Amino acid sequence: MPETTNIRELAEKLEITVKNQDFLQQAMTHRSYLNENRNYRLDHNERLEFLGDAVLELVVTRYLYDNFTNPEGEMTAWRAALVNGEMLARVAREIGVEPYLMMSKGESKDTGRARNYLLANSIEAIIGAIYLDQSYDAAADFIARVILIHMDEVLEKKLYLDSKSYFQEKAQEHMSITPHYDVIEEKGPDHDRHFIVAVYLDKEKIGVGDGPSKQDAQRAAAQDALEQKEWL
């Protein structure tokens, strides 16, 4: 399928109007793609990512400033929960960006942490592309539609808190017990390990989580435990 057709399809999926398709195509171009395509006429997406990161932070900051009167520290934590790599990778999958990424054959085989990092960066690059191709307002509209819609979830599930620390605090408060974590399963090759972790209070298994690292799996298990115990 021609690259330009791909980009038109992506623009429709993102619900954006594109004036210069090169910006969006560059946003989808990972550095590794250039290594295997020496005659490719565009640059990779890292400069757009740099720009989009700044636009994203400003838009989210202005949204929080306009809609909340909470102290700076609280809003800083909320902003971090909205723009961190985990959230942006999730957003990329929700809006269907992954099939349009242009990367090397080797990079395309990686489905672990490296892929999540690439997906998160692609969202920032898309924001940078929209900003250059259209306007700040168009970029802000896109951010509102795909990222700021998660604000209620961030507050409801307290995603701005470190789930492990919060669960430990609640476990000690309610039961005077310190949680402990055990890896119950590992799978995948060395370069793409996947861990499943359970969290216990004494001998009782309270929650289970999975992730590309033990730390990520522990955080997911703690979040599950908080929901199971209704300590949110």
Domains of the chain: 3-156 (1.10.1520.10), 163-229 (3.30.160.20)
* 66 has catalytic annotation: no
Q: Exactly one of 107, 124, 216, 224 is catalytic; name it.
A: 124
Residue % of the chain over a pLDDT of 70: 96
Q: Exactly one of 9, 46, 49, 53 is catalytic; name it.
A: 53
d(CA 153, CA 86): 14
Residue 2 has pLDDT above 60, yes or no: no
Average pLDDT for the chain: 92
Which pTM value belongs to this model?
A: 0.79
* 173 has catalytic annotation: no
Q: Which long-range CB contacts under 8 A does 160-164 form with residues at least 24 apart?
A: 160/74, 160/77, 160/78, 160/80, 160/81, 161/77, 162/219, 163/219, 163/220, 163/222, 163/223, 163/226, 164/218, 164/219, 164/222
β partners of residue 195: 186, 211
pLDDT band at 1 (very low <50, low <70, confident <90, very high): very low
Kindly report which listed range (97-106, 189-198, 207-216) carries the lowest average pLDDT score. 189-198
Give the pLDDT score at 155. Answer: 94
